[in-house]
Amino acid sequence: MTTPVSLSAQLMDLDACATLEGRIALLVDGPDALDAATRRVNRLTKGAVARLLASDRFSKLKPGETVSLAFPAGLQAEAVDIVRLPRRATLAEARKAGVGLAKLKGKAALTVMAGTQRHAAELGLGVALRAYAYEDMKTPAKDAAGTAATGAVTLMVGKPDEIEAALVPLRAAAEGVFLTRDLISAPANILTTTSFAARLEELRELGVEVEVLEEAALEQLGMGSLLSVGHGSDSPSKVVVMQWKGGANDAAPLALVGKGVVFDTGGYSLKPAGGMEDMTMDMGGAGVVAGVMHTLARRGARANVVGLVGLVENMISGRATRPGDVVRAMKGDTIEVINTDAEGRLVLADVLWYAQERFKPAGMIDLATLTGAIIIALGHEKAGVFSNDDALCNAVLKAAETEGEGAWRMPLGAAYDKKLKSQIADMKNVGGRDAGSITAAQFLQRFVNESTPWVHLDIAGVASVKAETAYAPQGASGWGVLALNRLVADRFETKADAAKDKA
Ligand code: BES
Ligand code: MN
Ligand code: ZN
């Protein structure tokens, strides 16, 4: 797994400024509000910092933006990065500052003179999240420069114990995001259903109970819908169940359900060749579920959360499902498969039903790279949010907003559901071109009990993006790990116990 850069807090040491290696970051509120570290570095550089602060370049900076002094005289450091940041920065501004610093950092060590910045730890998270690179498929460079270790990030602060404590859950979050990104980035010949399940079994090391249900078990359960998707593949279909039991014994869990199509050719309703390679990310929903489970376990969340992922590969062969085939879902309903490329909903139908039958969850959230139509509607900025429960939905929207992960609620309704009527079966798996994301969500809702608060997140536009996003370089974003981790913290954790621990 790609590991986040080492992040730690240390007591502010002004005398170190002259001899620090790598880069030094100064946080400046305005040209006349300089902290001790900024004054010290200014003195050491014979006023270079003050001249920069008096310049146009500095006055044009927005909160969180940076200008740099390269190889400044008077310091051992290779650069001073001056970040405009209010003392009482918002969480978003602090992370943005970290993101900016990460882009400049390269492999250098970075010391951030964070002083009394209240969101120093969040700034550190911003650095860690943006400093990600997926390099598993690259041959490691053999020259000395290529093998040099990545320099650590040190936050020099007034209260290192406080910031260290704040860093603990944030490191867990960064690790979860990295796991999700690694999984989404991995090509389909490497991340097969089998190797994906094996990777999830590693979560046992963190105290997660992991079960892998193989095809025979899925057949026994009657998951004819999910199994129909993987029929054309040589990789066996699997459902992986991950239980984190951090809450009260009797508390019904939150269920997180993920679409894990390790590759989506479209099946006989074949996708065009151009861009088909992107369908290596069609397991994005399952990747987010994996990342959230990792984070919850790593920070010891006091909540019961069960993650369930349907791992399949949508391929073509003599055994693959044909358009027009009728399959029977675990719920008992028959589905006419009009389009074999609308496979994600066939997978989720059975996993959603199984999750409810087995766990009677207090809430259920599914994540899926489900439709191209959601990209037409919302672009790559926001995930589509569909729900049968305003309270859970609003909690998800709020958590996403706080974490800077875009999300937008979309409608559901009987008029959309009607489009799924089949001539020969209980339903068909597509509803036509118009409102494609909504009819997909309607299909899922047919497998959700009215009494189960449920949110469906269509992450097709946000899971992997060809441009950089707020906290990620181009590629897999890890969208959803931070939001769902926060949702669990805000809504599903037993606060009383947490308070007792503090006392
Ligand atoms: N995995 C795709 C959706 C997708 C598209 C994800 C682009 C990420 C980027 C999904 O399985 C799919 O093929 N959906 C079809 C549904 C259609 C056949 C009703 C689509 O969106 O075209
Ligand atoms: Mn498809
Ligand atoms: Zn798909």
Kindly report the average pLDDT of the chain as a whole number. 96
Please state, for a pLDDT cut of 70, what percent of the chain lies above it: 98
Query: How far does the centroid of ligand 1 lie from the alpha carbon of residue 402, in Å?
Result: 29
**φ, ψ for residue 412 (rounded to 5)?**
-125, 165
pLDDT of residue 501: 52
Q: What is the pLDDT of residues 36-51, one digit of tens each?
A: 999 999 999 999 999 9
Say whether pLDDT at 16 is over 90.
Answer: yes
Gap between the Cα atoms of 381 and 401, Å rounded: 12
The mean pLDDT value for 182-199 works out to 98
Q: Is the pTM of this model over 0.95?
A: yes
Q: Is 486 labeled as catalytic in the residue annotation?
A: no
Q: What is the pLDDT of residues 233-261, one digit of tens each?
A: 999 999 999 999 999 999 999 999 999 99
Query: How far does the centroid of ligand 3 lie from the alpha carbon of residue 264, in Å?
Result: 5
The mean pLDDT value for 374-388 works out to 98
pLDDT of residue 143: 76
Q: Is 199 labeled as catalytic in the residue annotation?
A: no
Q: Which residues line ligand 1 (CB under 6 A)?
A: 264, 282, 339, 341-344, 369-373, 430, 436, 460
Q: Which of 426, 215, 445, 212 is nearest to 348 (CA)?
A: 445
The mean pLDDT value for 151-160 works out to 97
Classify the C-alpha dihedral 431-434-436-441 as positive or negative: negative
The mean pLDDT value for 180-205 works out to 98
pLDDT of residue 160: 98
pLDDT of residue 118: 94
Residue nearest to atom 13 of ligand 1 (CA): 341
Q: What is the pLDDT of residues 446-483, one digit of tens each?
A: 999 999 999 999 999 999 999 999 999 999 999 999 99
Nearest ligand 1 atom to the CA of 282 is: 1
**Could you say which of 271, 328, 398, 409 is catalytic?**
271
Say whether pLDDT at 396 is over 80.
Answer: yes
From 261, 371, 378, give the residue whose CB has the most ligand 1 atoms within 8 Å, as the site to mutate: 371
**Domains in the chain and their CATH numbers?**
7-158 (3.40.220.10), 175-502 (3.40.630.10)
pLDDT of residue 496: 58
Query: How far does the centroid of ligand 3 lie from the alpha carbon of residue 305, in Å?
Result: 25
Beta strands in 343-388 (DSSP E): 363-368, 383-387
pLDDT of residue 502: 45
pLDDT of residue 444: 99
Q: Where are the alpha helices (DSSP H) in 211-323?
A: 215-221, 224-230, 284-298
Q: What is the pLDDT of residues 95-114, one digit of tens each?
A: 999 999 999 999 999 999 99
Say whether pLDDT at 323 is over 70.
Answer: yes
pLDDT of residue 30: 83
pLDDT of residue 497: 52
- Residues in contact with 309: Cβ distance below 8 Å, sequence separation at least 6, in sequence order: 200, 239, 240, 242, 257, 258, 259, 260, 285, 286, 289, 290, 351
CB under 5 Å of ion ligand 3: residues:
261, 264, 282, 344
**φ, ψ for residue 336 (rounded to 5)?**
-90, 120
Say whether pLDDT at 500 is over 60.
Answer: no
